[in-house]
Chains A and B, each alone.
Chain A
Amino acid sequence: MKKGQTEILGIVVVVVLIVLGLLFFIKSPSKVETGNFEVIYAGNTLGVILDYVPYNSCQEKNIGDLLRDCRFECSAGDNTLDACECPCEVAKEEINDVLGKILEEGNFRGYYFDGVKYGNSFIELEENCKDRVGIFGPAYFVGSYEFRLKLCK
């Protein structure tokens, strides 16, 4: 082997060593995905809201039951919200209150909640989220009703 060839071989070895050294700096992404947790979080939030029984509820009905009573029109004035007379209004107020407080605790800044019956939306509540990309939790089906919640960052 000539001297020139030996030197080229040396350079090749050095280049290979540099490339191997650089490979150590390339980090592999973390294995645990946070996306799954956010879906669970959104699902839990929706479940908690629908199962929550407000203090001023009617016959200890939870929010899900009050929402299903939305077909009854509110007969009282705006200032006297009674859950037996105005189930939908009480439910809306409680959902906004609870979601506002849950958002303060987590990484989310907005929400979009809607209830659908036979494909027609009968309640829609939102704060900085309706037309934005967000995380949907699993939908809740109660009879012919479907409730969905989207949380936005």
Chain B
Amino acid sequence: MSTKGQMEMMETVIALLVFLVLIVLGLVGYGYYMQGSIKDLKQDEQVERSLLLMNYVLNSAEFQCSNNNIVKVNCVDMRKLVAFENLRLDYRELFGFSRIGVREIHPGVEEVYFYDESRGNDKFVRSVPVLIFEGNYRVGMLVVEVYE
């Protein structure tokens, strides 16, 4: 019943099907790749933003400790942090969706978040040791949580 023409037609249809399957597999692979690379880009952006915020907090007059015009590096003034809570909204454009605070670890234990504009659960947290000045010096961590 099957003639030579029908056989060739079948061959062409099978070749087309294989070709389509390959294209679909390629598209699925590309989709996975793009998903992964978008996730990486998002994480890179969060890492960079956390470093920028950390750098800003440690090097800006709004938070730094100073005495007789001498600035102490890696030190935040607790009284400035408390006062900053009233200015929070003015810094929204700069800090974006993030949560920034200090956690005292020595000699006592205390935690103060002076900027809190958290959103959702997808966050990147980074902390670095700092000196906290409030009449005397304490050791703590500057904690920066960056939200998506």
Chain A contacts to B: CB under 8 angstroms: 10, 14, 17-18, 20-22, 24-25, 27-28, 30-32, 34, 37, 40-41, 44-45, 47-49, 51-53, 55, 62, 97-98, 101-102, 104-106
Give 7 nearest A-B pairs by CB, closest first.
A24-B33, A21-B26, A24-B29, A101-B105, A48-B129, A53-B137, A32-B44
Contacts of B43 in A (CB 8 A): 30, 32
A92 to B40, CA, bound (A): 43
Q: Which of A20, A27, A52, A97 contacts B26 (CB 8 A)?
A: A20
Do residues B127 and A30 form an inter-chain contact, with CB atoms below 8 A?
no
Task: Confirm or deny: B146 has a beta carbon within 8 angstroms of a beta carbon on chain A.
Answer: no
Do residues A30 and B15 form an inter-chain contact, with CB atoms below 8 A?
no
Interface size on B, residues (CB 8 A): 37
Contacts of B106 in A (CB 8 A): 97-98, 101
A44 to B44, CA, bound (A): 22
Task: Confirm or deny: B30 has a beta carbon within 8 angstroms of a beta carbon on chain A.
Answer: yes
Q: Which of A14, A31, A102 contacts B105 (CB 8 A)?
A: A102
Do residues A45 and B129 form an inter-chain contact, with CB atoms below 8 A?
yes
Do residues A55 and B26 form an inter-chain contact, with CB atoms below 8 A?
no
A102 to B105, CA, bound (A): 8
Known A24-B33, A25-B29, A27-B36; judge A48-B131 contact (CB<8 A).
Answer: yes
Q: Which chain B residue shows the least CB distance to A31?
A: B44
Chain B contacts to A: CB under 8 angstroms: 15, 18-19, 22-23, 25-26, 29-30, 32-33, 36-37, 40, 43-44, 47-48, 51, 72-75, 103, 105-107, 126-131, 136-137, 139, 141
Chain B nearest CB: distance from A101 CB in Å?
A: 5
Do residues B30 and A24 form an inter-chain contact, with CB atoms below 8 A?
yes
Q: Which of A31, A41, A97 contacts B128 (CB 8 A)?
A: A41
Do residues A48 and B105 form an inter-chain contact, with CB atoms below 8 A?
no
Contacts of A22 in B (CB 8 A): 29
Known A97-B106, A102-B139; judge A30-B75 contact (CB<8 A).
Answer: no
A106 to B126, CA, bound (A): 9
Chain A nearest CB: distance from B29 CB in Å?
A: 4
Max count, chain B CB within 10 A of own CB: residue among A34, A40, A101, A106: A101
Do residues A30 and B129 form an inter-chain contact, with CB atoms below 8 A?
no
A97 to B106, CA, bound (A): 8
